[in-house]
Copies of this chain bind each other. A is one copy, B any other.
Amino acid sequence: MGIKPAKTLTLSDIARLAGVSESTASRALRDNPVINAQTREKVQQIAAEHQFKVNATARSLRTQKSHTIAVIILFDAKTQQTITDPFLLDILGVIADELTRQGYDMLLSTSKTTDKDWRSYYFDSKRADGLIVIGQGEHDERVEQLSSAGVPFVVWGAPTGSEAFAVIGSDNRQGATLAVSHLLAQGCKRIAFLGDIRHTEIEMRYLGYQDALQAAGIKPEPLLQLNTDFTAQAGYVQTQQALFKQLGSLDGIFAASDAIAMGAMKALLEHGVSVPQQVALVGFDDIAMSAYCTPSLTTVKQDTQAGGKLLVAQLLGQINGAKAASQLLPVKLIERQSSLRRS
């Protein structure tokens, strides 16, 4: 024999057991005050005894709310790699926690294999009440599509103040300026920029880089900007090539992400270039590993806690009728060994 599969109970079972109607049972379970206190407790107790759980599907169908948010991780169409950037994962974790705290479920999707049309797939099909898009590329055409469709959604990216939808992101330009000014203060004269400026966020960092140079009376050399994907490997390869090409006498590198910076550091050390003495290095993100490489990495810290919470708050706001609003988050320079030259 064995145990019967114990068919899941439904609301009507609970109602019958409690000797009330389904409507009363439903109201009792939702703490509707019109229900008599005794009745309510009786129903709740019976429900608890039988471990009854409301069928979320039926509830969603009836209430027209899924209480679920789809989080889409975008990837560069080129690299198409699985989740890997530690920074993304960091913010993903914050979003997950915050959504749970707010009573929402989180549907995760990587852009790699998903249906091209998120609106159809997640929103029209009622799988989710709203969307959060993170990852590189708020220029993605699919994001543009969303904005015209009345779908509540928020994007992590580079807020410009003029976009048609809500963008939450760090003050990349300011962060880069902090980083590069710091390098200049350490005595650097020729600083390379490693990052793909076709991504808006990185473009902003590049602008901040230029700002800092110009403020110091230095003319940015376009040749020192090297397009680099968001991986340690790309940083490594790009730095090797830069060294090989002998891009004059580099004495500083500003990498658009910590992963890139670590790749760059590897290449430098392998070639016997000392960090920070010969070349000072600054990254961006402040991922966990940055403090534990050797030399430890100076970097611009993005506030993932605030970012994740804001993404969620902004989205839930939209769902409840508020207007979409972008927001820029302050960043902070974390000085570590990779850039600090003892004076």
Name the residue among A8, A52, A101, A289 with the largest chain B CB count within 10 angstroms. A289
The A46-83 residues at the B interface (CB cut-off 8 A) are 51-58, 60-61, 66, 68, 71, 82-83
- Bound together, the chains give a CA A138 to CA B54 distance in angstroms of 28
A220 at interface by CB-CB < 8 Å: no
**A125-B53, A263-B292 are known contacts. Are A90 and B100 too (CB-CB below 8 A)?**
no
Of A91-99, A162-170, A175-183, A247-255, which binds chain B? A91-99
Digit string of A262-289 for contact with B (CB within 8 Å is 1, else 0)? Answer: 1101100110000000000000000011
Least CB distance from A2 to B in Å reads 10
Chain A, residues 109-128, CB within 8 Å of chain B (1/0): the string is 11011100000110011110
Question: A156 interface residue, CB < 8 Å from B?
Answer: no
Is the pair B121, A53 in contact by a Cβ cutoff of 8 Å?
Answer: yes
Of the residues B8, B100, B124, B232, contact of A112 by C-beta under 8 Å: B100
Q: Complex formed: what's the CA distance from A210 to B157 in Å? A: 49
**Is the pair A107, B107 in contact by a Cβ cutoff of 8 Å?**
yes
Interface residues of A (CB under 8 A from B): 3, 5-6, 8, 51-58, 60-61, 66, 68, 71, 82-84, 86, 89-90, 92-94, 96-97, 100-101, 105-110, 112-114, 120-121, 124-127, 150, 231-233, 236, 259, 262-263, 265-266, 269-270, 288-289, 291-294, 296
Which residues from chain B contact A127 at a C-beta distance below 8 Å? 56-57, 105
Contact yes or no, B61 A58, CB < 8 A:
yes
Known: A5-B150, A121-B53, A126-B57. A110 touches B84 (CB 8 A): no
Q: Is the CB of A84 within 8 A of B288?
A: yes
CB-based contact A100/B82 at 8 Å: no
Complex contacts, A121 vs chain B, CB 8 Å: 53
Are A112 and B97 closer than 8 Å at their CB atoms?
Answer: yes
Could you show 24 A-B contacts with beta carbons less than 8 Å apart? A6-B150, A51-B120, A51-B124, A52-B124, A53-B124, A55-B125, A55-B126, A57-B60, A57-B61, A82-B96, A84-B288, A86-B89, A89-B89, A96-B109, A100-B109, A106-B107, A232-B288, A265-B294, A266-B292, A269-B294, A270-B294, A289-B293, A293-B293, A294-B294
